[in-house]
Structure 1
Amino acid sequence: MEMARNSLFLLGLVVSLLIGLGSADWNILNHRKKPLSGSSLKNYCESWRINVEVNNIRGFEVVPEECIEYIGKYMTSSQYKADCQRAVEECQLYLSSCCTLKGDGKDAWIFDVDDTLISTVPYFKKHGFGGDKLNITSLEAWMKKCKAPALDHTLRLFHEIREKGFKIFLISIRRESLRDATVDNLIKEGYHGWSRLVLRDLQDENKHVQNYKAEARKRLVSEGYRIWGIIGDQWSSFDGSPSAKRTFKLPNSLYYIA
């Protein structure tokens, strides 16, 4: 009799648990989430974008399908421009008190190129705003046309830094075969006076971007340069040693380069 009562008790407990789980909006027996729409979708996509910017989301190949329109609107919005401008203002604040240049020509500043000095947004506007997997051949063909517009906020900062007496170095993951097109595009958009443009040659093809860029900085340091700052739109522009005294990241949630 006692065993029968215990069995009935356990059966009732299990049934109660199943009923409770079945009535919940989400539970371990039902892994389907409610479809996102309206404000909830906007919140999700903004959260995704922010977590890309703070480097929590890494190595993504495409923008989530449901967020393509949102990311496209952001990257062409006044908010994107305001976010870039704020990063530039923080850099200017740092410049106002950070650096006592020695006047020996060894004080250096590093810029990335794409989506730091000039913008690939016009290309991605025609290729799904990051929703399509990156086609390097197509992107490089577009780069050869020298149609990437300047990012105005960075153009002004570039010349401000140059006029302060820093030697400016451009370190890009563009291939060496794009040197002429890159130089032509930069000059066309108002950039001039940099000291060196570093591009990937054949021996750099299989290197992780962060290693390639860190090695480029190491060569500068070995030449006696003091790296006061780096500005880029990808975390791989800053990772590795040696680094700079300060780094400033511009927003970019269209792609991730490691």
Structure 2
Amino acid sequence: TERSRQESRPVPRNIPPLKPLDGGAALFLLDTCNKVFVDVVPGVGSSILQKRMTQTADLVRPSFQRTVGAEVDLTVPIESILRSEQFNFWSYVQFRVYAEILSEKRIDVRDFRKAFEGRVGQAVLSTLYPQFAKSALTTSASASQEDMMQGQLEASFREIDTFCNILVNKGLVAATSERSPVDKDDLFDFVDDLRDLQFSIALDKDAALESQILLQEQGYRIVPNYARFAIQQLLQHRLSTTPESGAEVKIDDYYLDTDYNSDPNLFEVKQVLMNVVLEH
């Protein structure tokens, strides 16, 4: 019945506001994406990319300004951003320009994403989470491949939790819901090559959330999900220590309204749910 459906609806999640944006971290993300794009895409220099970004920013700024209000200055250059709204704006501008250039050059988006997201993800980990780059899992010389893989995966779960907390403290996401638990039996089955392993990571109020949604609504196939870039690289790095497994990481993004509104007119995306599958 309608009443039972209403009573079983989850309790709305109370999401805190974003912490003040770490301008240095935000600038690093934007600058890194530009540098990697220029390296990956032939025939596009920094000056050409900057010109295209300026043109696109001038084109879309009025509509973004109406959304955020007059109190947020969207005319500031990238190197001066201090607000999450400014970071969101420039994320949209950059990734829209990337998508348009890829289309003009007829570059395969899947091949581009693999190269681009992998390099950006590695750079994000190295800079925002330097402890990860220095970490090394020690195992017994007599440890089996299965024991090594289990150890690597358990380490990666802890590292994902730590990295998500870093994003919160830098004002890049408002909060992170508890990562879905991985059952020990499921972990053992994956290690024994019996089944894929699946879990989810939820990020509340990503600072670039609106740009991600808008780009997808407009039909663009690359979006600034900086957290996903890094988490995918983190997991891939851990799995690469046992290459015999042949496992790959696949992550799909889902956009959720944590108020669970059934009325489409009240629907408002507040959370990015990343469904992670480790495939043999």
In the superposition, the TM-score normalised over structure 1's length comes to 0.25
Bigger-Rg structure (1/2): 1
In the superposition, the TM-score normalised over structure 2's length comes to 0.24
Richer in helix (by share)? 2
